[in-house]
Structure 1
């Protein structure tokens, strides 16, 4: 499936050469991997050994099918692995290619040949391309991951453990006041938020020193628009020559917030995405218009400070967000039950001062339980974003000074105007 049927093209069915296309596919896979190995200094195997090994895998697979035995494949795999123990001979050089990688690659080539012989040619070709890419891109991959320090790797491992070990074992049922707490759903929200932040954090870690202000603002906004704003506000005060770059990074990081909220809504409640997009898109577009000429100035700005952010997958940050989300969820459910929409709006204003994601997830959860309407969701999000934006502006002004505050003020005001303009449009459409 997904490959050309060479047997029909060349009318090989029913002839002694019916299996020939399998060997041609194995030959191509082996050549692909062998050419990459041939580039190395005195490799154990190269442009001839790899194709022969792949075709050997196809041959033993066909023999095994004919004899209905697994011994030919097992014996072939053992013989391929034993190639690593053969003497390499005189290299004429003090530096030789390490044998382990080539031996493992040979075993993979043999196994891919077996897959071809078993009729899995498309899968074998795809895996062969991936394996060759890993072999070829060793310098790039090594340089990329050397940018991560021990603390980063520890945080990533923590995130992986909490996502793929802890999450599956949490009970997927509601309990607590108003049935507002569901351990599985709550931790799933933590994984979602931390995953988005981790993607931006790794992008900043890998690319931060080589990108300009606009892209740096976008990446920083994925991690945390508040943290990014604080970092560059302090930089603008300490180094006035970085004012232009700092303003551009802060403006775009805060505009990314609207994209984040639309992505979260689409992932959790696709039915609410339309109204939320009507709310967020005008804020994003008007903010971009107000900051457009400032962002163009950033293209010619010099390099700025390294954007140092906390890894969002660190255990304390993940648990902190989980606790905040639980508190906001219970408060929203309680106030909504006793005071209706007004109670939810109070929670949105208060929690929005600290974090918009938590109230967004809590409100979307209430909508999924049919406890609130789309109009209530939109109003709560508008209030939370407004409170968050105003607090960030106050912090930026106090940390970065008056010049930075005036530089970013049009963008923040424009985005808020677009936000409430979108909300007004929603109200008119609902009426």
Structure 2
């Protein structure tokens, strides 16, 4: 039994060293292929060198664990100095490749150390990610070339919202009725803002090169109302492209239904099934009408994309957090004073102005505070209010002559939504 244990321990050592070598070889393949056209002697490191660097890292980690920590530190320092000298002669090359190779060499050494220390899976994952990033040099540089000042501001602001605030907020209930938990509150702000940020990024990557319909569908993921207003404004001045623009409005609303269901599933899952039963028919109607209008238009895209504003702004994010906090407090007060009916009426009224805030408010309530059927019905009615508002925006902005197709699509979906809500209200015997 002792011999079997020893053999198993040796096998793990061999495995870790082999994986350390493999991480270097993987990175070395990409580096060697990238620099295959360099003149002889210009390449500082290739596939063999990177493999050996990672292998050395694995051996240093083994020495540190089994022999002498000071000796391992001396060896590690010697390797780093050797790498620095080997790259120093090309440090001033215009393309900066030597800098990249030096950094990658240090990273490869670290991955070898990681594998030799007993974390082979993490080392291989790191090598795969590193290789992927290195191989995407042209794509990443091309992406950076497309960025404008607005895009940089969006990324910085989302980083501030997601990373600079959340860690410093307390994770405990406090305030009247224990209605406030700042960390949970800000987390849902990050979630909602993150959906908007993801839609904005997708729009910048794919939408602008594919025209109206694609940007409308992507834009529906973060603001179908903004998409409706933008396309309706164009409808007023265009005669030849009305069906495509109307299709974009309908499809953006269909995506909005999906967004609402996704947020409900994440934040207020108890209301998801009854809400899905009401929203799904309306979403299908919006999608079918949009696709039919698109088909009749004879074009799947146009040369002009949808104007979309910056979806990640700090003041609206703080205002949204305050709105959700006020709704949470009001919901707890309504429950204490009027019971379930008070919560339902409050969410219905306030949710008509902000569906996301209504979803978050319901999700923050204690379990079994409100029946799932009633919660789903109330959320569906807030969506109906939003749809009717968008129909009004489309009709008022585009005018009846140019905007009637878009208004008809939104009204048709709203009628189906109202009928589904009424059927659910009667069939499920919902009471306020």
Give the TM-score normalised by the residue count of structure 2: 0.84
- 1:340 and 1:429 map into 2 onto residues whose CA distance is 23
- 1:238 and 1:313 map into 2 onto residues whose CA distance is 29
- 1:227 and 1:96 map into 2 onto residues whose CA distance is 43
Equivalent position of 1:242 in the other structure: 241
1:227-281 CA deviation, whole Å, 9 max, x = no partner?
Answer: 1111111122233333233212211111122111111111112222211211221
RMSD in angstroms over aligned alpha carbons?
A: 3.3
Residue 54 of structure 2 corresponds to residue 60 of structure 1: no
Equivalent position of 1:108 in the other structure: 107
Moved more, 309-318 or 237-246: 237-246
1:387-424 CA deviation, whole Å, 9 max, x = no partner?
Answer: 21111111111212324432123432332233234334
Equivalent position of 2:20 in the other structure: 26
Equivalent position of 2:394 in the other structure: 396
1:29-40 matches, within 5 Å, as: 29-38=23-32, 39-40=34-35
- 1:300 and 1:341 map into 2 onto residues whose CA distance is 50
Query: Aligned pair in 2 of structure 1 residues 294, 302: CA closer, same or farther (>3 Å)?
Result: same
- 1:86 and 1:143 map into 2 onto residues whose CA distance is 30
Equivalent pair of 1:218/1:256 in contact (CA under 8 Å): yes
Equivalent position of 1:5 in the other structure: none
Residue 282 of structure 2 corresponds to residue 283 of structure 1: yes
- 2:56 and 2:410 map into 1 onto residues whose CA distance is 66
- 1:259 and 1:352 map into 2 onto residues whose CA distance is 17
Equivalent pair of 1:43/1:96 in contact (CA under 8 Å): no
Query: Aligned pair in 2 of structure 1 residues 87, 323: CA closer, same or farther (>3 Å)?
Result: closer
Equivalent position of 2:173 in the other structure: 173
3-state SS, counterpart of residue 165 of structure 2:
helix
- 1:361 and 1:281 map into 2 onto residues whose CA distance is 21
1:240-279 matches, within 5 Å, as: 240-279=239-278
3-state SS, counterpart of residue 47 of structure 2:
coil
Equivalent position of 1:294 in the other structure: 293
Moved more, 16-25 or 262-271: 16-25
Give the TM-score normalised by the residue count of structure 1: 0.84
3-state SS, counterpart of residue 310 of structure 1:
coil
Equivalent position of 2:309 in the other structure: 310
Equivalent pair of 2:247/2:289 in contact (CA under 8 Å): no
Equivalent position of 2:76 in the other structure: 76
- 1:19 and 1:175 map into 2 onto residues whose CA distance is 56
Cα deviation for residue 197 of structure 1 reads: 0.9
Cα deviation for residue 95 of structure 1 reads: 5.8
Cα deviation for residue 292 of structure 1 reads: 2.8
Equivalent position of 1:4 in the other structure: none
Equivalent position of 1:186 in the other structure: 185
- 1:232 and 1:125 map into 2 onto residues whose CA distance is 48
- 1:344 and 1:154 map into 2 onto residues whose CA distance is 38
- 2:190 and 2:95 map into 1 onto residues whose CA distance is 45
Equivalent pair of 2:267/2:359 in contact (CA under 8 Å): no
Equivalent position of 1:426 in the other structure: 424
Cα deviation for residue 224 of structure 1 reads: 0.6
Moved more, 187-196 or 223-232: 187-196
1:309-342 CA deviation, whole Å, 9 max, x = no partner?
Answer: 2323211221232233344444555556556666
Cα deviation for residue 225 of structure 1 reads: 0.7
- 1:268 and 1:129 map into 2 onto residues whose CA distance is 34
Query: Aligned pair in 2 of structure 1 residues 373, 167: CA closer, same or farther (>3 Å)?
Result: same
Query: Aligned pair in 2 of structure 1 residues 90, 224: CA closer, same or farther (>3 Å)?
Result: closer
- 2:135 and 2:295 map into 1 onto residues whose CA distance is 38
In structure 2, stretches of 5+ residues that fail to align are none
Cα deviation for residue 90 of structure 1 reads: 9.1
Equivalent position of 2:360 in the other structure: 361
Equivalent position of 1:46 in the other structure: 46
Query: Aligned pair in 2 of structure 1 residues 109, 180: CA closer, same or farther (>3 Å)?
Result: closer
- 1:306 and 1:278 map into 2 onto residues whose CA distance is 33
- 1:385 and 1:21 map into 2 onto residues whose CA distance is 57
